[in-house]
Structure 1
Amino acid sequence: MDEPFSFRNGSLLMMNALKTSAHEICSGFTMRNGGTSTAPFSSMNLGLHVGDDPEHVLENRQRIADQTSFPLDHWICAEQVHGTNIARVTKEHAGAGSQSLETTIKGVDGLFTTEPGLFLALCFADCVPIYYWASNPDVIAIMHAGWRGTVAGGAVRMVEKVKQELALSPESLHVVIGPSIGASDYEVDQKVINEVSKLDQSLWKQSVKDVGDGHYLLNLQMLNKNILIAGGVPEKQIQVTRYRTFDHPDLFFSFRQDQGKTGRMMGYIGMK
């Protein structure tokens, strides 16, 4: 499949043109350039929770709002606790978390909506962003999946959630797995692999490489793709980006590359 993202204006990776039956989708992933934050958050840090000057973060968010034509009071942000809880959001939630941590949607790592005009936004710095959309009814969604959320099945939990609430079959969903840390750079210990191995071996066997001394390389993107396929999403309807956060410190923040002190990119999706 073709690469699902393309550059725009130096600070955005825009997802290639997407549509539901009645709406255009604006979706993408921010890069670290083009903002106002100073080191170690230089420069387009969009995370309010990392210790950056809040004024810089809000100016950066405003710049993204201007570029995407979604005002901040239409944004909806989640707390992100490395879990699998998901919230269905509506216009009543517009503005949640856009300008303060106190107003984020609490205790969730995934958001979905059937309403146009809302901008679902989550923060990332190595974890996997997963984007979903479908038609009839038109729905968009985004999920944050670190290793804990991945192993707990966050990717397929979203599939189950929209099936339950909207009667959408997994076969009707389209999914993009966005920029995250790559398999060659994500080394984990036995504790993590013990949790991964609780999944069916067919899901994780090709996603794990033993490098000795109780250490392993873990391919989070592949593991999430396998989980989605097992959950009924057709493989032909799942795209995986080639962009890797650790590999491109000029483009992306990476929690591991930057040894924990770094900014956050934002994965986002909205319908117009």
Structure 2
Amino acid sequence: MAEPFSIKNKLTLMTEPAAAGHRMILSGISLRTGGTSRAPFASLNLGLHVGDDRENVVANRRKAAEEIGFSLERWVCAQQVHGTNIARVTGECAGAGATSPDTAVKNVDGLFTTEPDLLLALCFADCVPVYFYSKQPAAVGLMHCGWRGTVRLGAVRMVETMCRTLDLVPEDIYAVIGPAIAGADYEVDQTVIDEVSKLGRGIRNGAVTPHGDEHYLLDLQALNRAVLIRAGVPQEQIQVTGYKTSVFPELFYSYRKDHGRTGRMMGFIGMKNKGEGTS
């Protein structure tokens, strides 16, 4: 399957717009280049919670917003907690968390909406962004899946929530698995693998490689793809990027590669009415 993302400018990777009725779905992830933040957050850090200067982060977000085509006042951000809670957001949520973490949607790692001109935006720096959309009704979702969210089936919960809420079936869902840490760079211990093993041998075997005594390499992208297929999303409707945060340090922040002191990219997805100008 073809690579779903391409570099559109020095600020973002974008997928090709997808049509959903009279709407166009736009999604992507920011890069680490083209901003104003200084080391160790250089330069387009979009995370307000990592210790960077707030004014620099907000300036970076406004710069990214202009490139993406959704004003910062239409962003909806979440207080991510490495869980699986999901919130449906509406126009009343516009601007939540956009300039202050205090106003973010609380205690969730997934957002979805059926409304246009809202940009769902979550922070990443090795964890997996999983993008979702349906065509009828037109809807978009975004899930933050670290290892905890992955083994607790956060991606599956998004499918189930969208299906239950919007009267869909899994075959109506399209998913894109975005840039995350490479399996070859993500070493975990037996405790993590014990949780992965609860998902079943078939899923574990495709994502886990032994790496010494009670240590393993874990491919979170492959794990999320496997659980989505098990949940009923057709495999031909699941795209997986070849971009890895740990392999392209010139493009991405990597929490592990940068030893925990680093910035955050912003994964994002939203809808515009066809023919509508960007703002």
One-letter amino acid of the counterpart of residue 161, structure 1: T
Q: Runs of 4 or more off by more than 3 Å in structure 1?
A: none
Q: Once the 2 structures are TM-superposed, how far is the Cα of residue 145 of structure 1 from its aligned partner?
A: 0.0
1:1-272 mapped onto 2 (5 Å cutoff): 1-272=1-272
Does the CA-based 8 Å contact 2:196-2:204 persist in structure 1?
Answer: yes
CA distance in 2, matches of 1:204, 1:149: 15
* Per-residue Cα deviation, 1:64-120 (whole angstroms, up to 9, x for no partner): 111112111100001110000000000010000000010000010000000001000
| Equivalent residues of 2:32, 2:44 under 8 A apart | yes
Residue number in structure 1 paired with 2:277: none
- Once the two structures are overlaid, the 10-residue window that deviates more, 15-24 or 158-167, is 15-24
User: Displacement, 1:194?
Assistant: 1.1
**Could you state the TM-score of these two structures normalised by the residue count of structure 2?**
0.96
Return the letter of the residue paired with 2:256.
R
1:62 partner SS? helix
Equivalent-residue separation in structure 1 for 2:58 and 2:19 (angstroms): 29
- SS of the equivalent of 1:76 reads strand
How many Å separate the matches in 1 of 2:160 and 2:7?
A: 32
Q: CA deviation at 1:214?
A: 1.2
What letter is aligned with 1:41? F
SS of residue in 2 equivalent to 1:144:
strand
C-alpha displacement of 1:41: 0.1
Deviation at 1:17, TM superposition (A): 2.3
CA contact (8 A) 2:187 2:215 kept: yes
Cα drift, residue 9 of structure 1: 1.5
Supply the AA of the counterpart residue of 1:217: L
Given residue 242 of structure 2, which amino acid in structure 1 is its aligned partner?
A: R
Structure 1 residue runs without a partner (length 5+)? none
CA distance in 2, matches of 1:119, 1:186: 30
SS at structure 1 position matched to 2:132: strand
Q: Could you state the TM-score of these two structures normalised by the residue count of structure 1?
A: 0.99
Once the two structures are superposed, what CA deviation does each residue of 1:196-250 show, in whole Å capped at 9, x if it has no partner?
Answer: 1111211111210111121100010000000000000000000000000000111
Instruction: Determine helix, strand or coil for the equivalent of 1:184.
Output: helix
- Counterpart CA distance in 2 for 1:13 and 1:107 is 27
SS in 2 for 1:73: helix
Which shows bigger deviation, 253-262 or 17-26? Answer: 17-26
Equivalent residues of 2:11, 2:67 under 8 A apart:
no
Q: Report the secondary structure of 2:33's partner residue.
A: coil
Q: Counterparts of 1:193 and 1:136 in 2: how far apart (Å)? A: 38
Aligned residues: 272
CA drift of 1:128 comes to 0.1
| 3-state secondary structure, aligned to 2:211 | strand
CA–CA separation in structure 2 for the residues paired with 1:126 and 1:16: 23
Q: 1-side partners of 2:135 and 2:230: how far apart?
A: 21
Instruction: Give the Å deviation of 1:18.
Output: 1.3
Deviation string, structure 1 residues 133-160 (Cα, Å, up to 9, x no partner):
1111110000000000000000100000
Q: Secondary structure at the match of 2:44?
A: coil
User: Do 2:58 and 2:99's aligned partners in 1 also have CA atoms closer than 8 Å?
Assistant: yes
Structure 2 alignment gaps of length 5 or more:
273-279
SS of 2:65's partner is helix
